[in-house]
Amino acid sequence: MKVNRGLLLVGLWLAVIASALAVVHTTHRSRVLTAELVQAQKARDELRFEQERLLLEKGAWSAYGRIEQVAQEKLNMHMPDSDERVLVPQQ
């Protein structure tokens, strides 16, 4: 019986050590994944900020007044006079 008790005690010690190593590994992995999550959330927030800035810029560039100004200044366009207008009949 002493041999069986000794083997049981060694087996229990090995189980405790394996369990402790598993806890250490799991804790380390959890910390690594948490750090990656924080970095991903930071990148997400930076991309959202950039998207909002670009949407505001798009709105400013596509405003009707801005388009009309560019058409007049750079393309030399103007509103046609009544004698320059041509009506196309519908079929």
Residue-wise pLDDT tens digits, 6-45: 899 999 999 999 999 999 999 999 999 999 999 999 999 9
pLDDT at 1 (0 to 100): 65
Three-state SS for 20? helix
Matching residue, tokens 């041999």: 3
Query: For residue 44, which of 56, 29, 52 has the smallest C-alpha distance?
Result: 52
Q: Is residue 5 part of a domain?
A: no
Q: What range does the domain containing 45 cover?
A: 11-77
Q: Is residue 16 part of a domain?
A: yes
Structure tokens at 58: 């798009």
Q: Is residue 89 part of a domain?
A: no
Q: Is residue 40 part of a domain?
A: yes
Q: Is residue 22 part of a domain?
A: yes
Phi/psi at 76 (nearest 5 deg)?
Answer: 55, 40
The domain total for the chain is: 1
pLDDT at 68 (0 to 100): 86
Q: Is residue 87 part of a domain?
A: no
Q: Is residue 41 part of a domain?
A: yes
Let me know: does 27 contact 33? Beta carbons within 8 Å: no
d(CA 19, CA 15): 6
